Structure 1
């Protein structure tokens, strides 16, 4: 059965929910939103601390793993991606972090008009309804609730220790060019997760001109005479076609979007021919330029103080659960990560080059009985401090290995391939240890932060990072915006060489932002929706 809509959107994640809202806002344009996952109504999705229960669950998570990483001793890196309304914004750590002014000015310097800090700051202000200390570059008028959490006493100790180590104090890390640590600003409202689906999609779903289909496995983009005309997809046993009268918009994220492009014949011609896929457009940059923030950190065991570890097991977790159920408050109403901010570890860095993460507890990844990955808290009191490199030079890829839409793609991050990345990781770990060694923790420390043997030389620090580092789940860049070789979309997000199709999600980032990617992806979608509507208006009035 064929249906025709003005706009067909693939993916109801951080970007797709925004697009569905903005493009159906006029009450006239017909919009179809396709999502492979299901409802986001599950209790552990709504509970801010519940993401450890949904990450690694095939019901809500694609549960990808990377190929063996050459610089990490051949380890495969667990790579969750949301498979649910709201996408990864329904299973992430709720952090709302914009990124640095320099990130977006760099995009503009690469030739991408409309993407400088001055261009995107009004979009960030349009997005957010900020419930913290009001500043000029923040807003209380947007659809996305942003709330500073109520910090645990150990989180305040982390702030004190960072100041003792020489980092600036009292920073709003969303100010544009920050250094120093602050309390996490969360996508939370009234004790519940406030995902992109909560902010944008659910308010729009009653509109008669918006249709949302869940459980929709997209097979390919329909292309006729170098023009995208719609989407083929499967729901259950039904094979369906949705035609787009105006545009097809791909919002599958940094894994899903390049996968769908290659399945549809858009990518490197030799690669596609080797898989028996007819070539619609030779764009060798599809799937290349994968970037992520490599995360590694330290844990400090404590004594004589409480952490969230012991609150998450036994009868205490039952008491905290009851408190959350009846009041939507307590530790379950917060993200376990409570502190973030920025520091500079390379002397010649133009701005802060690492993002720090503090948690009043310690967590590890445990393999479940069904092979799923689960985050579990340690039993004894502890505190954690980790970091991401803001602007990694190492790049990987996402590519299909089969013409079967059901097959998972190959993912390789290639972490620590660049020598600069290795140097930043060593310096970042030494800064984490320096902070945890400050007097703020003297009264309660129970041993060293990280094994002493790991800090004997720079080589041993690097070995520790190789063995313990992981993904920050901030995948970006696989359908890069720009012009020339390697670019996939132009600065209005239109796919090169194919008409009436855009990619609007984190995959278009020419360089990853110095932050969690959710806020920037929502901003990209707001900008993309504006461009779609502007171009439509221009076509009608031409």
Structure 2
């Protein structure tokens, strides 16, 4: 089979690319996804994230290598294995990051990536619940709204103000700092993934778009220094798909560098031990892995309106299921992480350096450890960690997981920032508005000294699922793509996903990834 464009990965970026490129009826587009179609009801009910997160259901469920900074533990990296990719299993929070993040990208030599440059592409894809404005779009495919939040979420926001933090009604507006309720990609009680927003409306309507699920990309095919197609495995059979114009890699911060290396594009030190011939030496492939280290404060509660496991809770959940099935409302229409904030651990900072996510249930180890009773949680993450990791190969088998080493808490500045953030979150939850929920500290009760809390951080910190940077954009010898996301030294090959980010943005990464695809689609369509 032959197409003009082959897109590897139908996730947050790939679905956007498929939509934009196939809008031209004169071109043919093939979208490849290793996972299944998004049939699962757990994908579409927002509360389904609680069941998907700890399992292998539409989830790659990767493990990291042992982390010295986390007391030798292996970290956990859920990633979407389904149409919509991680936008089909994430927390549905819509955050762009701080405006200065993009100005820094431009200052690093990446022209066209300042905040002024990228804002129109954020706005293009967005249908904001408040309508169009300076910072929001009103006619895009991606619905961004707010949900009916739990009383504990409102109490948390009030508690944040009592602790001295400003209220922020829009983290994606003029200012990011403050405490407030999150905008979410939920519409009418259903998850609004990129598959729902960008792919579903055009599938079947555009004959020039072919979507193949259960399709594992084995390697990018090259003719000299020209990408000519993709070798893909479907139902155990290897097929050759040819690309007349470009191959576009949107397999994410783990999958894209893995596929490049399996194709002989990457550092010789990584390829040679696996017996892979070096087709194009690129030392930066798989380097520069950045992710937000995150720790969760957990509290047991006497209030069974919070989510949890009890006889009364089970009865309420049955009622909630009936409510959801009838009207797509109630607890199951929530992402649970309804509120949060962006705060500075030092007053002199020019932008927030920690992010909070309040959650109306007791979370432990990515929901893999369950506790009897009801509770409340608060995530604290470091927005711009100095700990930098890498992605490599463990096998030549494309279905084998890559080697993931985020190097969490390997830099002491990250430890100190997380420690300050932990104390700030504790202070918020200690405020009077939270008292009605009868909260009792589950994991750090009686721990107060820096030494005690740092030991706790090393035992409980892990990812909040924002890996980026492993095929970073730039012009130096470790950069993988240029400012228009073309792989250096290879014709007809681009990377379009979160792996191109030169630095990690200060916030959740789904919205920036969609923006990256919007930005790239225009360049690709204008290349002939």
Q: What is the aligned partner in structure 2 of residue 253 from structure 1?
A: 252
Query: C-alpha deviations, 1:172-219, integer Å up to 9, x for none?
Result: 111153111111211111111000000111112121000000001111
Q: What is the aligned partner in structure 2 of residue 33 from structure 1?
A: 31
Secondary structure of residue in 2 paired with 1:66: strand
Q: C-alpha distance in 1, partners of 2:26/2:57?
A: 34
> Which moved further from structure 2: 174-183 or 526-535?
174-183
Secondary structure of residue in 2 paired with 1:148: coil
Gapped regions of structure 1 (runs ≥ 5)? 366-372, 537-542
Change (3 A) 1:388 1:301: same
Matches within 5 A, 1:133-152: 135-152=133-150
Is the 8 Å Cα contact of residues 37 and 59 (structure 1) preserved in structure 2?
A: no
Q: What is the aligned partner in structure 2 of residue 406 from structure 1?
A: 399
Q: What is the aligned partner in structure 2 of residue 370 from structure 1?
A: none
Query: C-alpha deviations, 1:400-456, integer Å up to 9, x for none?
Result: 12222222111011011112111101100010111011121234434457524322x
Q: What is the aligned partner in structure 2 of residue 368 from structure 1?
A: none
Is the 8 Å Cα contact of residues 305 and 444 (structure 1) preserved in structure 2?
A: no
Q: What is the aligned partner in structure 1 of residue 67 from structure 2?
A: 69
Secondary structure of residue in 2 paired with 1:398: strand
TM-score (norm 2): 0.96
Q: C-alpha distance in 1, partners of 2:153/2:369?
A: 19
Question: How far is 1:461 from its partner?
Answer: 1.4
Change (3 A) 1:303 1:374: closer
- Matching of residue 227 in structure 1 with residue 220 in structure 2: no
Q: What is the aligned partner in structure 2 of residue 369 from structure 1?
A: none
Q: What is the aligned partner in structure 2 of residue 268 from structure 1?
A: 267
Matches within 5 A, 1:32-51: 32-51=30-49
- Matching of residue 385 in structure 1 with residue 378 in structure 2: yes
Change (3 A) 1:348 1:265: farther
Question: How far is 1:314 from its partner?
Answer: 1.7
Q: What is the aligned partner in structure 1 of residue 287 from structure 2?
A: 288
Q: What is the aligned partner in structure 1 of residue 477 from structure 2?
A: 485
Query: C-alpha deviations, 1:44-99, integer Å up to 9, x for none?
Result: 11000101222344341111100000111110111111110000100111111111
Q: What is the aligned partner in structure 1 of residue 467 from structure 2?
A: 475
Q: C-alpha distance in 2, partners of 1:384/1:47?
A: 21
Matches within 5 A, 1:497-536: 497-536=489-528
- Matching of residue 308 in structure 1 with residue 313 in structure 2: no
Q: What is the aligned partner in structure 1 of residue 203 from structure 2?
A: 205
Is the 8 Å Cα contact of residues 285 and 486 (structure 1) preserved in structure 2?
A: yes
Q: Give the number of aligned pairs.
A: 526
Q: C-alpha distance in 2, partners of 1:192/1:304?
A: 27
Q: C-alpha distance in 2, partners of 1:68/1:377?
A: 23
Query: C-alpha deviations, 1:356-383, integer Å up to 9, x for none?
Result: 1111221224xxxxxxx75566443322
Gapped regions of structure 2 (runs ≥ 5)? none
Secondary structure of residue in 2 paired with 1:491: coil
- Matching of residue 463 in structure 1 with residue 455 in structure 2: yes
Is the 8 Å Cα contact of residues 52 and 376 (structure 1) preserved in structure 2?
A: no
Matches within 5 A, 1:155-170: 155-170=153-168
Q: What is the aligned partner in structure 1 of residue 488 from structure 2?
A: 496
Question: How far is 1:347 from its partner?
Answer: 3.9
Q: C-alpha distance in 2, partners of 1:200/1:27?
A: 16
Q: C-alpha distance in 2, partners of 1:59/1:298?
A: 26
Secondary structure of residue in 1 paired with 2:396: coil
Secondary structure of residue in 2 paired with 1:254: helix
Q: C-alpha distance in 2, partners of 1:323/1:79?
A: 32
Tell me how large the CA RMSD over aligned residues is. 1.7
TM-score (norm 1): 0.94
Q: C-alpha distance in 2, partners of 1:308/1:133?
A: 32
Secondary structure of residue in 2 paired with 1:432: helix
